[in-house]
Structure 1
């Protein structure tokens, strides 16, 4: 085996599922070798990108890929509920007299929340390409609120509110599958049900005219709800020999950890019993590092273990997947 062939095989081992490598690995490597320029010793960046795209498409057809679609639906439902919650805060929270306002709203965050609610509508009426574009736009605008506030001096939501929305939004891209209409309405239903709860709660929590009092209550509560809901769903599906729920739970661990940064940071903060409701930035940063490492590591270790089991001759759960619309088992071969 030449150095170039060995390097192509290593890249393929990184991106492609084991059962694909076993069935078509040699054929794919030979194709890339035949197209490579004479004398080339390493795969070109274009070939690596092509391998990554092909491997991603194949993985999205496996059990982890189907789990990503389920995780995307749960993430979109959460972002829609939060968008509704924060939009109500933008309207009802008292304004500090010294703060620059955005028209009748509290901060620049109202633009992001409007786009997230629009994404929920698009998911209900036009899933697929248009939905992915709507979510991507919402993610970019949410991330852009921070620099926009720095340039304009207008109030913005805290980073502890913006970051979970961005991370959940990336996962929500997986919700582009064409579910049944009543399933696609779940994010909109969550947003609608959140409005009366927020309207009754936020005027009391938002007594300082900012996000913090609401955030320290709403974010951990959402983390707990999402964790319990995803775990119960994983157990229910596992009882039917369906691994979608387990993969969805693994994918959602990182967003759940981001939602729970405040209590995790409080546990790492050594300020004592009288510590403030918002931990020190050092504790929050340490909590962020823990979440950013542990969640993806668990997912990657599980993927590696599944690939190793498949490489040993046992079939992946992906060989028998489930229809994202009705949940009926289907043979991917």
Structure 2
């Protein structure tokens, strides 16, 4: 007779394909039952997440990335300590000392409880509390209108939730003594250091500003130290010729939410939506910080997946680097979604910008007007050129699928652009007084399609890829130069405003690429 726990484990196994469930189901359930303590009737949240996540990955045929699992194991306890330490800092300094009253302590308490449970050796309980803390952080903005308290900014909740995903995926049971000690000692250390950094800079009055600056940028320095330590260990191991993929993955994983903290010098001038610094390109604010950090991490992830041989890892013999794929080969979902997103975003920006530009053309700042117009033109021209080249290489039966993907990408980009516009106008749907500034802010979203365009086109300009017809190669170069030029113009002038983790990650990635390219290839 099967136990209630076994029946529930087998119910979760339905996430796996039927053939795999039939072949390996008994083995998986047997291992889980052996690990479960006597009397347990329900799977833990961590067990359920592992089973369902692994099953969905097999259903979707997603590859298992070498080094990612080990990287998660390294990053999980660090992410827990960072989230708990930052929660303690925000709770003590902003809520208790400065007297700001928000719904944040509901999530902060769950994070601190998770850190205590893990330090005491209750790893499964800690994973459950981590999931609860991350879910609470995401629920705070939704619950805000129903209570009399303010809510922490979306950026704070988003960072804590991202650390929660990393911790929930990386925490192991049972936890080693080093991991328990690291979380137990690291959490108060992080809290004290973050609080000291924020306290020395002071805090502006009011929750709308105190949670942003100087808090986010100063707290980002603490996260940057953790990222730098992992990057340094990875660099030392690479120099010594030892396997370093796990440490590189841990660095990238921690850098993603850490890169969202900041940027330096982020402020809003009173009475001017968007700030007075919005002249040509958007001021490098929180939205630009999040998008650029995500794009840089995406480049690092792509580099880790594709360039194993170039990293000099001695754990396996490096295989010759394959020639890049032809640029005209249809890459499926990502390429056509990007084309659609670029067109949808261009249409959204134009819809926001045209009314004020047509009505008040004489009073609009000309540099900003040219910047917005150039962004719309480059997005549309690049997307249409790529689509025209790619559609010719597609079989007739797949063109309908490509068109559907492009439509989905366009609708998604229009929705996100509209959401940013609503956010820029105080979450209201009417009475928008500065559509020109709103359009300028929405152009920040172009970081994502231009980064994807550049990442896709860059391998095809290598000498090994010089086999395309002249027209196709011209489109490749246009895609790369237009994307790289727009990205550089939008981000590089604000280099000193980038958050600490973003600066660190960008410098480390550039140094690693330079070292790799100079290293002589063997074998």
TM-score range, shorter chain: 0.5 to 0.7
| Structure 2, unaligned runs of 5 or more | 1-16, 24-52, 268-272, 319-523
What's the counterpart of residue 299 of structure 1? Answer: 301
**Structure 2: distance between partners of 1:93 and 1:284:** 23
Q: Tell me whether 1:64 sits opposite 2:68 in the alignment.
A: yes
* Pair 1:236–1:200, CA change in 2 (3 A): closer
Deviations 1:174-228 (CA, angstroms, capped at 9, x unpaired): 3412442243132232332345552795497235143234424423313422332
* Pair 1:258–1:201, CA change in 2 (3 A): closer
Structure 1 residue 131: deviation in Å? 2.3
* Pair 1:249–1:182, CA change in 2 (3 A): closer
TM-score by length of 1: 0.62
Within 5 Å, give how 1:263-278 maps onto structure 2. 263=264
Within 5 Å, give how 1:138-177 maps onto structure 2. 138-177=133-172
Counterpart contact for 1:94–1:206, Cα < 8 Å: no
The structure number with the bigger radius of gyration is 2
**Structure 1: distance between partners of 2:201 and 2:306:** 48
**Structure 2: distance between partners of 1:118 and 1:294:** 33
What's the counterpart of residue 247 of structure 2? Answer: 245
What's the counterpart of residue 129 of structure 2? Answer: 134
**Structure 1: distance between partners of 2:129 and 2:104:** 17
Deviations 1:97-125 (CA, angstroms, capped at 9, x unpaired): xxxxxxxxx21101111100011112122
The alignment yields a C-alpha RMSD, in angstroms, of: 4.2
Runs of 4+ more than 6 Å apart: 54-58, 279-282
* Pair 1:196–1:68, CA change in 2 (3 A): closer
Q: Tell me whether 1:180 sits opposite 2:181 in the alignment.
A: no
* Pair 1:186–1:49, CA change in 2 (3 A): closer
* Pair 1:200–1:283, CA change in 2 (3 A): closer
Deviations 1:299-324 (CA, angstroms, capped at 9, x unpaired): 13422444999xxxx569xxxxxxxx
Q: Tell me whether 1:94 sits opposite 2:99 in the alignment.
A: yes
Correspondent of 1:192 among 188, 192, 203: 188
Correspondent of 1:121 among 105, 116, 120: 116
What's the counterpart of residue 205 of structure 2? Answer: 208
Q: Tell me whether 1:83 sits opposite 2:78 in the alignment.
A: no
**Structure 1: distance between partners of 2:300 and 2:151:** 33
Q: Tell me whether 1:218 sits opposite 2:213 in the alignment.
A: no
> What is the number of residues matched between the two proteins?
253
Counterpart contact for 1:93–1:207, Cα < 8 Å: no
TM-score by length of 2: 0.41
What's the counterpart of residue 233 of structure 1? Answer: 233
Q: Per chain length, whose mean CA-contact separation is higher, i.e. which structure has more relative contact order (CA < 8 Å, sep 6+)?
A: 1
